[in-house]
Amino acid sequence: MVFESLIEAWEEIVQDPDFSIVRDWKNRTGGKAVGYFPVYTPIEILHAGAILPVGVMGAGNRLEIAHADSRFGSFICSVAKSTMELGLRSNLNVMDGMIFHSICDTARNLAFLFQRNFSGRMKVDYIHFPQNPESSAAVDYLEAELRRLKTSMEELIARPITDEDLNRSIAACNENRNLVSQCYALRSEKPHMITTRELYILLKAGNYLRFEDHSIMLRSAMKAIENRTARPKDKIRVVLEGSFCEQPPLDLLQAFEDAGCYIVNDDLLPVRNWYLRDIEVNGNPLRALAENYVKHSRYSSVRHDWSHPRMEGLVEKARASKADAVVFCIAKFCEPAYFDYVPMKDALERENIPHLLVEFEEKMWTFEKARNEIETFVESILFD
């Protein structure tokens, strides 16, 4: 019951549009908090400055859009609109800064809308990640960008962030990501022991905690999961793909599993599971961060890697997860995910891997249509 109580408490926290837990942390510690927009941000730099990195991923279905539509065109994803709404309603006043990067045109423009509307309230930074990892200048370029971000954070906290600070943070983040990987492995091996809804809440809790505190939570949770008693059910094993930025509602994740799916791998919350190996702890931590991003990151629709195409990465993920199928769970108006959908679908069909497309938006309230589609898909595989 301790594990269930933990999940119940954090389910409310991770959906709180007021960021009350961040406000409490600031009141308790006197520290700074900086929000970051999905998909990936070098949160080690924030942690090294004793800044609380806070994942800002829209408002889900907890907030009506009343003001943000006046800042955007019609065909814009929900996560951008609701993040802007959070700012316009002052929910983000608890943040001392916000960091964006080049996910897509919408995210790029959102950064500059924040600068225009909130520059007096918070520091707004934008990271330009290298788009050609094959270039010999990619690591040098990213190291310079990370150094610029570090300088900006030093201005915010009015003190230097040393290499020792960065190395401590890298070590803490390595430990945390290894625990996240262990959670993924546990779910893949024993998906009947933990639902994806539960795992998602556990991982998203890291959006509001220091690495060390989140690691303590994950260790405790894994022990509790191992002690659970549950029997496997007649479900298909699926990989969930396409939800790397805007996140599906918790009830939609539950609908997948209620309809007969064990989600055994996904690309949810990628900042918590971004690297393929530990970041090296050495005399040049910014260089180590840059090299890992360029050379040892997981595939993503927002990151180019000519040497390892994303289509191959998805097929490899499905095979390694022993998945029966792939479900594309793509946010409405998400350009990167839809651009990748056709070549990814073609790659799966060449490998005879079944797939299904389910479109969502974070403000969904009803899930019956999605559930019916999933149930039909599951039955077509189970009874083929």
Q: Which range of residues forms the domain containing residue 27? A: 19-156
Q: Does the structure show a pLDDT above 80 at 38?
A: yes
Evaluate whether residue 292 is within a structural domain.
no
Model pLDDT, residue 119: 85
**Residues 43-91: tens digit of each pLDDT:** 999 999 999 999 999 998 888 888 998 888 888 899 999 999 999 999 9
Q: What is the pTM of this model?
A: 0.95
Residue 374 near residue 327 (C-beta atoms within 8 A): yes
What CATH number did the domain enclosing 124 receive? 3.40.50.11890
Inside any domain, residue 47:
yes
227 located within any domain: no
Place of tokens 């792939």: 326
| 164 phi, psi to nearest 5 deg | -65, -40
CA dihedral sign of residues 156, 159, 162, 167: negative
**Structural domain contains residue 270:** no
Residue 1 confidence (pLDDT): 56
Residue 301 parent element (H or E): none
- Residue 73: the pLDDT is 80
Share of the chain above pLDDT 70, in %: 100
Mean local confidence (pLDDT), 164-169: 98
Strand partners, 99: 36, 125
Q: Residues with Cβ < 8 Å from 134, sequence gap 6 or more?
A: 306, 307
Peptide bond into 39 cis (omega under 30): yes
Residue 75 is assigned to a structural domain of this protein: yes
Residues 6+ apart with CB under 8 A from 98: 34, 35, 36, 37, 56, 92, 111, 114, 118, 122, 123, 124, 125
Provide the Cα torsion 286, 38, 62, 82; round to 10°: 110
Number of helices and strands in the chain (H, E): 14, 8
Instruction: Confirm whether 129 is domain-assigned.
Output: yes
- Per residue in 235-267, pLDDT (tens digit) is 999 999 999 999 999 999 999 999 999 999 999
Nearest one of 10, 73, 67, 78 to 38, comparing CA atoms:
78
Helix residue ranges, H only, 16-137: 20-29, 43-48, 78-88, 105-118
Could you tell me if residue 298 is inside a domain? no
Q: 42: Cβ–Cβ under 8 A, 6 or more apart, which residues?
A: 127, 146, 149, 289, 293
Task: Report H helices in 119-162.
Answer: 138-157
Within a domain: 115:
yes
Instruction: Give 260's DSSP letter.
Output: T
Count: domains in the chain: 1
What pLDDT shows up at residue 274?
A: 95
pLDDT, one tens digit per residue, over 182-209 is: 999 999 999 999 999 999 999 999 999 9
